[in-house]
Amino acid sequence: MTGRKRRPRRRSNGGVDVFGILRERISSHALPPGSRLREQDLASEFDVSRARIREAFGALEQRGLIERIPNRGAVVVRLDPRQMFDLYDVRQVLEAYVARLAAERAPKGAWDELAARFGEPLEEALADGNFEAYLDCLEALHASMVAHAANGILADMLDLIGDRTLVISRRVVILPGRAEIGLKMHRRLLAALARRDADAAEAEMKQILSSAREYLEKYQNYVI
């Protein structure tokens, strides 16, 4: 990384997406758990009013990413182990159902591009330690499954939970051997989706998250 600051992301109405930028910084650990967020500093950085910053703080707090503490201000939340495992248990149920619906409802050929992305080039990227490429593929697969599942309520629930687990997920993939195991499992999931085998897709998704949970239990002192 060069250290050069990125230009603030803009919303469709031309304003700076303060919530989106802070959300991304938290998920990428640019703002690790325990970090303090100061209204005035952020208002100056984004050239917006403190009211806009408070509005973003409210949305981040609602999603469980920060907490506002009297006399201390806004702080990036630390998940305790019990919360972390509870979140993965809920994800296992919801995302398995998404996989089932996506297998049933996606049109023929819907998974071809993703299957190619999870092929040999991604394997080579992981061998080179390029975990960002893997994370990008995982996000694309998740987004595609949610889109093909076509269930708005389920999508909203996963979005809310996903915010709170993305920070953890980004650290899980770099644990010893996890990405290689995950790649094989996601390839099996894609194969089940492609042949429209809803039972197998649901089972594979459950196994993926069960395996991730086992890694969390083993390496929780590193992840948290």
Domain count of the chain? 2
Report the alpha-carbon distance of residue 30 to residue 139 in Å, rounded: 19
12 in any annotated domain: no
Residues 88 and 27 in one domain: no
Q: Decide which of 55, 76, 97 is a domain's last residue.
A: 76
Task: Show the domain range for 29.
Answer: 18-76
Residues 70 and 92 in one domain: no
Q: Decide which of 76, 91, 109 is a domain's last residue.
A: 76
pLDDT above 90: percentage of residues in the chain: 57
Residues 89 and 183 in one domain: yes
pLDDT band at 33 (very low <50, low <70, confident <90, very high): confident
pLDDT above 70: percentage of residues in the chain: 92
Residues 65 and 161 in one domain: no
Q: pTM score, two decimals?
A: 0.74
Residues 156 and 195 in one domain: yes
Residues 70 and 167 in one domain: no
The 10 Å CB-count burial string (b at 16+, else e) for 90-129 is ebbebbbbbbbbbbeebeeebbeebeeebeeebeebbeee
Q: Decide which of 37, 59, 76 is a domain's last residue.
A: 76
Residues 91 and 179 in one domain: yes
Highest mean pLDDT among 22-26, 82-86, 127-131, 192-196: 192-196
| pLDDT over 70 at 19, yes or no | yes
| pLDDT over 70 at 37, yes or no | yes
- Nearest one of 73, 35, 71 to 53, comparing CA atoms: 73
pLDDT band at 166 (very low <50, low <70, confident <90, very high): confident
Residues 86 and 148 in one domain: yes
Strand 36-37: give its sheet, edge to edge. 36-37, 73-76, 66-69
| pLDDT over 60 at 10, yes or no | no
CATH number of the domain residue 62 falls in: 1.10.10.10
| pLDDT over 50 at 8, yes or no | no
9 in any annotated domain: no
Residues 63 and 148 in one domain: no
pLDDT tens per residue across span 201-213: 999 999 999 998 8
3 in any annotated domain: no
| pLDDT over 80 at 188, yes or no | yes
Residues 97 and 58 in one domain: no
| Amino acid 222: pLDDT | 65
CATH number of the domain residue 210 falls in: 1.20.120.530
| Amino acid 123: pLDDT | 92
Output 174 or 47, whichever has higher pLDDT.
Answer: 47
